[in-house]
Amino acid sequence: MRGFLASTIASSIGVSCAAALVLPLAAPATAAPTSPASPPGARSARPAALPGTPDAAVPGSTQSLALAPVARDRALGPAVAEQGLTREHVRHFSLLGVVWDDPGTPLHGRVQVRTRSTRDGAWSGWRNLETHNDDAADPGAAERASHRVRGATPPLWVGDSDGVEVRVRAESGHRTGGTAHGARAGTAAGPLPSGLRLELVDPGAPPPARAARPGATEIPALTKAATEDELRTLPGVELTPRQRANPHIGPRPRIITRRGWGADEKLRERGFVYTKKVKAAFVHHTASGNGYKCSQAASVIRGIHRYHVRSMRWRDIGYNFLVDKCGTLYEGRAGGVAKPVLGAHTRGFNTNSMGIAVLGGFGSAKPPKAVLDAIARLTAWKLGLYGADPRGKTYLTSGGGNLYRKGKSVRLNVISGHRDGFATQCPGRKLYSKLGTARSTAARYQGR
């Protein structure tokens, strides 16, 4: 059975099973020189360009609705204190978010939405969207080469809906944000960002099971011994003599591929951008809500994928991997799960790192044990490919952010939370406090 599974994966990609881990599931574009906008050390298969496939040609859809000043503010002109809209009849959608023109302009205010369920026609209560989407590409990276990226809230999963109301109100005064280094206070004042729009995302349905070749929907788990054997022959991974003699690597976990969760490969850009290695992992939460069922996780990921590419205008989904609340692992950004694919997750520290996003929010909700184990299993394997100790420290050079200036060498945990590299509450207080458990478990999986 194992031989059959390996052969079917190989046939679906056209390479050996080991090489399948480092090659993308879709054929790459012809190699080209590194884009000038890429970070130092990055290698790109093709300069960045915004995807041009119209929504009508892909599964799912995105409805983009401009917000308008509320009646009492209309006389104030463009710099209004409140905007919103109500739509009682729209095409079905399951995920939403608010975007604006300039990604460098913060939204200091409150964003609230309520939606009408297609199941029973009932309207939800008002729900708050986080206003600071701190998952981002590095300044000067390929992500920003088109100069068309947008500011955005994190997306929110609301389930199948056909009506929506949103209100965005500016706030001024003192704000306090939690970071790994304590509270940070500041003054937030000024108008709302220009170009506010509500994005309603229908993630679409995955391709029929019969359309996918057998074995292409997941990368199967391996034993530790089999993983060590594979490590010694994996293309593109350079091992030190010590690694060859005594590889500290966890068993390769089962990973649902992009084809497995139904990624529409026409959405993303064709090229891939790589860095030199993976020295650290940053753990995130998606802030998209915990109300999904695990059977809906693939739909949530398709929604986030479409939101990142169509609404925020990124090259691809920003995270390298995702984890649902049942502990299932998913391939994120395309380019090969074993390769050092440049993501867009921790502004300033995307180079030589990977981003792991847990679907949901964990500011007050406790992360399930299955989530922590999935993070440990993934990091034990992926960091083990590059000789990193999950309990250790490493140095990364900041690409510029709100905690560290560009060019500063920063000492970080090999498994860090998003807030360690950027002033944010992500991955939520409850998940961040459990990262020590993930580090020790990952080290144990590596045999340390």
Which H helix or E strand runs over 18? Answer: helix 17-20
pLDDT of 39 strictly over 70: no
Contact indicator for 252, 381 with CB cutoff of 8 Å: yes
- Whether the per-residue pLDDT at 111 is higher than 60: the answer is yes
Cα 254 to chain centroid distance, Å, stands at 19
- Residues 6 or more apart whose Cβ sits within 8 Å of residue 225: none
Q: What is the DSSP letter of 270?
A: S
The pLDDT of residue 38 is above 80 = no
Give the pLDDT of residue 425.
87
From 109, 59, 53, select the one nearest 84 (Cα to Cα): 109
Q: What's the one-letter identity of residue 287? A: A
pLDDT tens digit sequence for 198-254: 999 999 987 665 555 645 899 999 999 999 999 988 887 788 888 888 899 999 999
pLDDT over 70 for what percent of the chain?
75
Confidence of residue 147 (pLDDT cuts 50, 70, 90): low
Q: In sequence order, which residues have a C-beta less than 8 Å from that of residue 446 and are 6 or more positions away?
A: 248, 249, 250, 380, 384, 389, 390
Q: Among residues 153, 143, 148, which one has the least CA distance to residue 47?
A: 143
Q: Output the CA torsion 355→361→367→373 (10° steps).
A: -20
Paired tokens of 100? 């604006």
Q: ∠237-221-289 over CA atoms, to 5°?
A: 100
Mean pLDDT calculated for residue range 18-42: 42
- Looking at residue 22, its pLDDT comes to 64
pTM: 0.84
pLDDT, tens digit, for every residue of 67-91?
A: 999 866 555 544 458 999 999 999 9
